[in-house]
Structure 1
Amino acid sequence: MKEDLSLEYLQAIQQYGNFSHAAKALFVSQPYLSKYIKILETKLGVNLVNRQITPLTLTYAGELYVSYMKDIQKSYAKMQVELEAISNLKKGRLIVGMNPILASYTLFRFLPQFMKKYPGIEIELEEGTASEMESLILQNKVDICLNMLPISNPELVYEELFEENIYLVIPSEHPLYDKNNVTPTHVPFNPKSLKNEKFILLKPGLGLRRLTDGIFEHYEIKQPNIILETNNIENAFRLCINGNALTFIPESVVTRDQVKFNANLYTLGNPIFKNYVVINYKKDALLSPAAKAFLQFTKEKFIQF
């Protein structure tokens, strides 16, 4: 079935109340969106958008069109699930959302094995921030996603895969560095004293940044001195250990490559702050056989953690 964007476009207009904001959210130009809707209205012979009021609303015909298109999408999705079931996973397609950190440090642990076990399933990866992935799941543009807690949207459900420590990294050039703490240990000072320290953190919206923001909040560090933000956790880590600013990293960053470095790694909190890696999907979603197989495979793979 050729992808039909009319439902997504009309819902965006309904949500944002004008063509300009809807086009921006859809990553298309405003003239293109207006032309697309006008062509659709001409084809159907009815007005779908009420342009006489601000903000814009859908006409009764527009609301009816959206309702029917939702039913069509559900029927098509159900057909795909049933056809995949008939093929017994010999064929299928799966769109997997990934947190960038997990893509770098955990994806290699299971995806090659899954693809080897199910060679007929076509895999498409979507990488982005935690908030971007949540949005794509809700828009049915991603089937299933590997992410980090917290996930606050009630329309999403998750199953935990594993947990790992979160480390505060103090480089050897920093005054708080302790040459006697060569292995990871619990922080030996009150973390509230970090309120004036410099930090290199991931950019807002990324899963680990959500977690570190929670740590700052817990220790009442209301305005941390963030001197640099990056999308790449390894970049943050290497900038930290080669300078005098602090950062936070998940345990897997250290254990994957057994990196040699001079820095203290401290856990924080009581109970200790953890990074919880989860696989999540839309609540009440009709998961395809490929998605169910992926869910079961990853859970079995990470049971060791």
Structure 2
Amino acid sequence: MIYYNYLETISYNDQQLVRKLTRYTHPNSELIRIGILESLGSFLLSELLPDFLKENPEVRIQLFESFPRINEERLLNEKIDCYIGQNPETITKGVKFYINGNEKYYVIIPSTSKYFSPNQTILSPSMYDLKTILKSPLVLSAPESAIRHQVNGLFQKFHIKPNIIMESNSIITATNLFMRGVGLTISSASILNKIHHSLPINLLPIDTQILQLQYFIAIKKNLPLSPIMKNLINAFKNLYKSKLNELLNITIPKFCINLGIVISYHSLSILFLLIYKNKSIHFSTIKKLVVAL
């Protein structure tokens, strides 16, 4: 057992050394070290990196998956080149950030909850008192996460002592647990879209003046940017637009576009979720949904 642990340690140290020497062992490529929260990377990086790497084949990527404060510390100490996170209002000084859009948060209510309303998906914001809903048993992400930082602010705003029955480092894990009736949770449409399920749920919108989700990419202030890093920042900033176009061109029938209705990204995400759950949804229903959203 001692020998096995010794071999493991040697192997780990060798891998770390290889990682640190990448800049020098691959002189013709540019290394970008990205810090990101693991649960955020699970769906955001798959949208960002494939096209970026195709357009910039000389780039090598190293991921450092940690909580926001650790990523910020690494960025300020120049141990990573950029940091992808959410909710820039919480970010530390000495960092410059770029935003790529925003989304609404929803209280997500499973069918096992007494607040569940059958035959509905998106509830009216006025259907339930948010303060009352937040007193229900909750499944939340870990206290160190950015979303939890915001949710804790929500509890303080309403002077609530939350009934948290389970915590997870991953918001996706928390969302999956809630779907099995463990408790209510707070999440966004983009996260729900990544979880394939057929269980009935209700989405209670939270006013964006109270709580909203913004993604950002951050760099250390006053550091010169290479052309490749500028490409990555631009790809991140345009990710919102490209995803919007994808949803418009693929998910929503052409006649909806011809209506000339402008809807936000979070609304498109919700519409995508509804269509995914009910692929036989009628065009007239989609039209009503677009108008309602």
Work out whether the TM-score is over 0.5: yes
Alpha-carbon spacing, 1:257–1:225, altered in 2? closer, same or farther (3 Å): closer
Alpha carbons 2:39, 2:169 under 8 Å: kept: no
Letter in 2 for 1:175: K
The match for 1:286 among 221, 224, 241 is 224
Instruction: Return the offset for 1:285.
Output: 2.2
Q: Are 2:32 and 1:94 aligned?
A: yes
The match for 1:208 among 132, 147, 168 is 147
Instruction: Return the offset for 1:273.
Output: 2.5
Q: Share of identical aligned residues, percent?
A: 24
Point out where structure 1 has 5 or more consecutive residues left out of the alignment: 1-79, 81-86
Q: Which residue of 1 aligns with 2:283?
A: none
The match for 2:209 among 257, 264, 271 is 271
How do residues 161-200 of structure 1 correspond to structure 2 at under 5 angstroms? 161-183=100-122, 185-186=124-125, 188-194=127-133, 196-200=135-139
Q: Are 2:41 and 1:103 aligned?
A: yes
The match for 1:302 among 233, 240, 250 is 240
| CA deviation string 1:247-281 (max 9, x = no partner) | 11121112235532222111112636221011111
How do residues 60-209 of structure 1 correspond to structure 2 at under 5 angstroms? 91-149=29-87, 150-183=89-122, 185-186=124-125, 188-194=127-133, 196-209=135-148
Q: Distance in 2 between matches of 1:180 and 1:113?
A: 39
Letter in 1 for 2:185: T
Letter in 2 for 1:269: D
Tell which structure's C-alpha radius of gyration is larger. Answer: 1
Alpha-carbon spacing, 1:153–1:199, altered in 2? closer, same or farther (3 Å): same
Number of aligned residue pairs: 217
Structure 1: 4+ residue segments shifted above 4 A: none
* Cα RMSD for the two superposed structures: 2.2
Q: Distance in 2 between matches of 1:291 and 1:185?
A: 43
Point out where structure 2 has 5 or more consecutive residues left out of the alignment: 1-22, 245-264, 266-293
Instruction: Return the offset for 1:180.
Output: 3.7
Letter in 2 for 1:104: S
TM-score, structure 2 length as denominator? 0.68
